[in-house]
Amino acid sequence: MSIAHHLIKSISTHLRLTEDVNALFSSVSIDTRSLQEGALYVPISGERFDGHQFIEKAIEEGAQASIWQKDIPVPASLPAEFQLYFVEDTLLALQKLAKLYRKEVNPKVIGVTGSNGKTTVKDMLASILSYAGTTYKTQGNYNNHIGLPLTILGMPADCQFLILEMGMSGFGEIHLLSTLSEPDAAIITNIGESHMEQLGSREGIAKAKAEIRDGLVAGGMLYIDGDEPLLQMLKGKDVCTVGFDRHNHNQVTNVLVDSTGFQFKLHSVGDLTLPMLGKHNVKNAALAASLAKGLGVSFSHIQAGLEQVKVSGMRLERLVGDHGELIINDAYNASPTSMKASVDALKDLDGFTHYIAVLGDMYELGANEKALHEQIADNIETPITHLVTVGEKGKWVYEATKKQQKSNGITLHHAPTVEEAANLIKPLLNDQTVILLKASRGLKLETILNYLKESGKGEMNK
């Protein structure tokens, strides 16, 4: 990437030095800990910190210049030759600069939002579109009002496809991200229950996610989960529905599953292969493939991209344990929708004698959190042989499942801690065992992998 002086000058009220600087900045950074030589430093003021206080550290790390909020005094110790671009508000300046750079590079911009699956869809799109041209995507969780502008400013100058993940916790946030980035195409993966505390209902979540349509360029297309009733409000020539139901514009049919993944047919695209677990990922792949087809990407590139996709860690990640057991690490985060989908993915697998579902707390579910945890019990059925719940909220899943169980042979246990859960599982570890790990990020359920490597005894009797 290279951010030119004239772009920053255009959003500034005045400059500290000459206005004839002919500079190019190699990167834009808000954090001195990761700042690179030749960067433009943007100090952001937060509730607990003020980036302006770290200007000397930024210079020490190699910053070439800095945006500066004009009502904040400039330190007398600042080197005389160091350039400052004065602005009213540094966060707004960061967002304005990103919008200008997006227009200057002018790639095809794709926005992705949804309660679950947006990171997976982002990764699928990046894999597909990289066959068609230079592609850049949101790194990590840089999907909010600060992270998204930094993502835009991080794309290379020759970028042809820019994939932006858009997260939110309340109304108006997706609107800001969409109007800032002006997508040529966008996806809403699904509507779940995350952020119920802030948005009140799934209807509220759907309304907030639908804001991604606000910034679409003229002629842009929105691809949505057509099987979700709450998204039926989105109609028009700019909306393409994708899903399993017959009424969808792009219907998924002929779904076949084995231990390596799925084969399926997508109307308007063709017969596709997906080497991933979870039927919900078939729909994620269908959304990505539909959008890519809409951008003119060839079938061969779509199929190659799906075959080579590398999704971010802890999302139905397949691992082999020390005893030959298959571990499905889906512990990055969880909502009732995604937990049910993960349990169903576990049940889709063939050839094991022990099917262990390790399920933990789910957060940000609002006043109905107990009932939403209890709903998971509906999906606990054969071939699952063992259920281990973890945490205070996870216990609700255990209790509800115990009420439903009669004599169907599923062993149920609750473990207050991750370590105790590991001790329950250890006696069952062999090459005929498959384990699913699923919980919200805060529980850090993936740490069970460390305990499973340790020696120890546990009991898993009915």
Asked if residue 363 is part of any domain, the answer here is: yes
What is the count of structural domains for the chain? 3
Q: What dihedral angle (degrees, nearest 10) is formed by the CA atoms of 175, 180, 182, 185?
A: -60
Residues 275 and 408 placed together within one structural domain of the fold = no
Residues 162 and 190 placed together within one structural domain of the fold = yes
Distance CA 45, CA 151 (A): 19
For residue 69, what pLDDT band results from cuts at 50, 70 and 90? Answer: very high
Single residue among 238, 273, 308 that ends a domain in this structure: 308
Residues 116 and 86 placed together within one structural domain of the fold = no
Residues 346 and 442 placed together within one structural domain of the fold = yes
Burial class (CB in 10 A: 0-12, 13-18, 19+), 258: exposed
CATH number of residue 179's parent domain: 3.40.1190.10
Q: Is 268 annotated as a binding residue?
A: no
Residues 195 and 233 placed together within one structural domain of the fold = yes
Residues 290 and 403 placed together within one structural domain of the fold = no
Answer whether 372's CB lies under 8 Å from 362's CB: yes
Q: Strand, helix or coil at 71?
A: coil
Q: Which residue has the tokens 């609700």?
A: 396
Q: Strand, helix or coil at 289?
A: helix
Closest CA to 369 of 393, 392, 388, 390: 393
Residues 240 and 361 placed together within one structural domain of the fold = no
Q: How many CA atoms lie within 13 A of 249 on its CB side?
A: 18
Angle made by CA atoms 349, 352, 356, in degrees to the nearest 5: 80
CATH number of residue 81's parent domain: 3.40.1390.10
Asked if residue 99 is part of any domain, the answer here is: no
Asked if residue 59 is part of any domain, the answer here is: yes
Residues 299 and 382 placed together within one structural domain of the fold = no
Distance CA 305, CA 127 (A): 5
Q: Strand, helix or coil at 327?
A: strand
Q: Is 273 annotated as a binding residue?
A: no
Asked if residue 98 is part of any domain, the answer here is: no
Q: Is 117 annotated as a binding residue?
A: yes
Q: What is the pLDDT of residues 255-294, one digit of tens each?
A: 998 878 899 999 999 999 999 988 999 999 999 999 999 9
Asked if residue 53 is part of any domain, the answer here is: yes
Fill in the amino acid letter for 92. L
Answer whether 312's CB lies under 8 Å from 429's CB: no
Asked if residue 459 is part of any domain, the answer here is: no
The mean per-residue pLDDT over the stretch 340-347 comes to 95
Residue 22 pLDDT: 62
Distance CA 221, CA 209 (A): 15
On average, the pLDDT of the chain sits at 92
Work out whether strand 317-320 and strand 326-329 pair parallel, antiparallel, or are unpaired: antiparallel
Residue 193 vs residue 420, higher pLDDT: 420
Residues 17 and 41 placed together within one structural domain of the fold = yes
Q: Is 347 annotated as a binding residue?
A: no
**Residues with Cβ < 8 Å from 160, sequence gap 6 or more?**
107, 108, 129, 132, 133, 134, 135
- pTM as predicted: 0.84
Q: Which residue has the tokens 């020696």?
A: 455
14-15, strands of its sheet edge to edge: 14-15, 83-87, 65-69, 39-41, 27-29
Q: Is 116 annotated as a binding residue?
A: yes
Asked if residue 460 is part of any domain, the answer here is: no
Q: Is 120 annotated as a binding residue?
A: yes
411-415, strands of its sheet edge to edge: 317-320, 326-329, 433-438, 354-360, 386-390, 411-415
Work out whether strand 14-15 and strand 83-87 pair parallel, antiparallel, or are unpaired: antiparallel
Asked if residue 462 is part of any domain, the answer here is: no
Distance CA 341, CA 349 (A): 13
Single residue among 38, 64, 93 that ends a domain in this structure: 93
Distance CA 295, CA 128 (A): 11
Distance CA 362, CA 372 (A): 9
pLDDT greater than 70 at residue 455: no
Which range, of 175-179, 199-203, 285-289, averages the lowest pLDDT?
199-203
The whole domain housing 331 covers 317-453
pLDDT greater than 70 at residue 458: no
CATH number of residue 384's parent domain: 3.90.190.20
Residues 290 and 329 placed together within one structural domain of the fold = no
The percentage of residues in the chain with a pLDDT greater than 70, rounded to a whole number, is 95
Residues 258 and 349 placed together within one structural domain of the fold = no
Residues 73 and 158 placed together within one structural domain of the fold = no
